[in-house]
Copies of this chain bind each other. A is one copy, B any other.
C-alpha cells in the first residue's frame, strides 16, 4: 500500500510529537522550548520528501521515520539559532515570538543545541538497535549536510558588498539546498537504492533546494534588504533561473514511477 502525501505529512506530525522528551524536575524549561519550536506548524517539507522518496524507491516508510524526524529537528535548531540577536535578530517566527523572545537568549541557544543533539540521538539509537548499512549511510549524509548548512550560514552573514553569482550560489547551495539534498539522498539510502539512483536523488535535492531559495528571495524582493540573486540580477533573471532548476528537477523525477506524492509534497499541493 502506498501512502498519500497527506498521510505522510500526518505521520510526520505524529512522530515529532512522540519524540518530544518528557520534562524532568530541573530542566523542564529546555523541553518546553524544544516543543515550542518543533510543534509550530511548519510545512515539514524535508521529512515528507525523505519519506516519499524512500517509498517511491521501494523502501519502508516506518524504517525511515526516525531519520525524517531527525531532519526536521536539525532544520528547527537552525531556525532558532538563525533568529538570535547575534544573527538575523528576528523577533517573530511563523506568526509567534521566536524562541529567544519567548524563553530568553540562553534557553534559545541551548534548545537549539539540544534539538541538534537529539537529532543525532534518534538516528544513532536506531542504528545501534538495527545495524543496517542504509541507515548508517542515511545518518552520514544528514550529518554532512548539517555541517554544510553551518558553512552556508557563515558565508551568508559574512557577505561583503562585492558579491557575485558564485558567492550567491555557494550560500544557497550550502545554507538551503544541503538539507534538501540530505532529504532526497537519505530517502534513497534507506530504500537501499543503487549508487546511480542516489546520484539522481542528489541532483533532485540540489535543483529543488536552489529553486526553493531563489523563489523565497523572489517573494521577499520588496521587503528584504539582503543581497540575493533577485536583487543582484533582477526579478526576471531570477524567475528564469528558478524555471531552469525546476525543469531539471522535473526531467529527472519523471524518470521514476510513483513520483506523484513527491510532486504534491514539493509543490505543496495536497
Contact = CB atoms under 8 A, between A and B. Distances in A.
- Secondary structure type dominating chain A contacts: helix
A154 B110 contact: yes
Contacts of A71: none
A146 interface: yes
A131 interface: yes
Interface string A124-159: 110110010100110110011011001111110110
Nearest to A116: B116
B133 A170 contact: no
A99 to B, nearest CB: 12
Contacts of A127: 127, 136, 139-140
Interface in A192-233: none
B152 A140 contact: no
Nearest to A34: B150
A161 to B, nearest CB: 15
Given A81-B113, A109-B86, A117-B143, A30 B151 contact: yes
A120 interface: yes
A121 to B, nearest CB: 5
B143 A121 contact: yes
Contacts of A250: none
A121 B147 contact: yes
Nearest to A127: B136
Interface in A76-97: 77, 81, 84, 86-87
Nearest to A78: B113
Interface string A95-126: 00000000011110110111011101101110
A167 interface: yes
A27 interface: yes
6 contacts: A81-B110, A81-B113, A114-B147, A117-B150, A121-B140, A131-B136
Interface of A: 24-27, 29-30, 77, 81, 84, 86-87, 104-107, 109-110, 112-114, 116-118, 120-121, 123-125, 127-128, 131, 133, 136-137, 139-140, 143-144, 146-147, 150-155, 157-158, 167, 170-171, 174
